[in-house]
Amino acid sequence: MIISVSNLKGGVGKSTISRNIAVYFAAKGEKVCIVDTDITQRTTCEWKQRREDAEHRVDVFPMSTMTALPKDIKTHRDNGYSVIIIDGVPQLEEVTTKTILISDFVLIPITPSVDDLKSFEKFILRYQDARAILAGTREIYGFVVMNKYSGRNNEDLEMKEALGLFSAQGIIPLNASIADRVAHRRSSKYGLTVLEWDDLKAAEEVKVLCEEIETTLIELIEQ
Ligand SMILES: Nc1ncnc2c1ncn2[C@@H]1O[C@H](COP(=O)(O)OP(=O)(O)OP(=O)(O)O)[C@@H](O)[C@H]1O
Ligand SMILES: [Mg+2]
Our answer on whether the CB atom of 16 is closer than 6 Å to any ligand 1 atom is yes
pLDDT the model gives residue 80: 98
Beta bridge partners of 83: 32
Domain boundaries, the chain: 2-222
What is the sign of the dihedral through the CA atoms of 80, 42, 11 and 72?
negative
pLDDT the model gives residue 92: 66
Our answer on whether the CB atom of 13 is closer than 6 Å to any ligand 1 atom is yes
Q: Topology of domain 2-222, per CATH?
A: Rossmann fold (3.40.50)
What are the C-alpha distances in Å from 103 to residues 51, 59, 64, 116, 159? 26, 18, 18, 22, 26
Probe residue for ligand 1, chosen from 21, 184, 195 as the CB with the greatest number of ligand atoms within 8 Å: 184
Q: What is the DSSP string of 109-158?
A: EE-SSHHHHHHHHHHHHHHHHHHHHHTTT---EEEEEEES--S-SHHHHH
Our answer on whether the CB atom of 8 is closer than 6 Å to any ligand 1 atom is no
pLDDT the model gives residue 58: 98
What are the C-alpha distances in Å from 186 to residues 21, 111, 160, 196, 199? 17, 20, 27, 11, 10
pLDDT the model gives residue 121: 87
Run of H or E residues at 31? none
Nearest Cα residue to 212 out of 24, 43, 5, 11: 24
CA-nearest residue, atom 15 of ligand 1: 13
Our answer on whether the CB atom of 12 is closer than 6 Å to any ligand 1 atom is yes
Nearest Cα residue to 26 out of 59, 75, 62: 59
pLDDT the model gives residue 220: 82
pTM as predicted: 0.96
List per-block mean pLDDT (blocks of 10 residues) for the chain, which spans 223 residues. Answer: 91 97 98 94 96 95 91 96 93 76 93 90 87 89 95 92 86 96 98 98 98 90 74
Our answer on whether the CB atom of 6 is closer than 6 Å to any ligand 1 atom is no
